[in-house]
Structure 1
Amino acid sequence: MPPLTLLQRNVYFDTNMDLDLAPTDEQTSISADRRRATTSAFNLSPRKSPRKRVEETDPRLAGWTPVQDSDLDQVSALANSISTLDVSLDEEVTKRKRYESDRYKGFGLMARQYDFLKRLKRAGRAHEPDGIATTKPGALAVLCWACPDADRNLPLGWDAVNPNKRSARIVPAVLRLTGGHDDPSLGSGLGYFVESSTYKEHLKNYIKEKDVSHCVAFQAMLQKDTKITKGLRVSGVAGCVCARHGLVRRRGLGDLQIGERRVFPKEPPQATQYSFLPRFANVDWILLCTLWAERLREYGFAYDIICQWMIHFFERLKKIRESDVDTSTLATDIDEADLYFGLPVWHAGAHQAECRAHLALAYMLGMGKTDGEAMERIWATLNPASWATKEMGEGARHDVLEDKIDRMNFAKNLSLGKSLARKLIVAIAERRQQGLEFAELDKSVKRSKREEWRKRVDQWYEDEDTDSPFILAGGQPSGPGQRSIAEELRQAELEDARAGHVPFVKGNMTATAFVQAGLQLEDTQRRIRAALKNKSLTATYASEIQELRISLLKKMTSFERLQLIYMPGVAAIREADDAKSAIPTILRPNPKPFGCTCRRI
Structure 2
Amino acid sequence: WPEHIKPRSGVEFIPAIPKLHEPMHHTVGHEVFSLNFIKGCGYTDCECVERVWAPHNALGNSTKTQGPGSRQDVLDDHFGFWNWQKYVSMGRNLLRRYKAAVKERNLQVEGHRGLTESLDPVLVQKWEKLCADWDSDVFPKKKKNPYQLEGTETSQALVKKELADEEAKYLSNGGTFPHATTASMFVYMGLDLEETQRRIRRLAKSTAVNPTLRKNGDLTEQRNALTSRIRAWEKLLPIYMPGLLQYHTDYPPPDRKSTNAEDAHLWLPSRIPTPHRSKICVPGLSCIEERLRDAQLPDSLENVKKILKIKSRLIQFK
Query: Which of structures 1 and 2 has the larger relative contact order (alpha carbons within 8 angstroms, sep 6+)?
Result: 2
TM-score (norm 2): 0.49
- Name which one, 1 or 2, has greater alpha-carbon Rg: 1
Higher strand residue share: 1
Higher helix residue share: 2
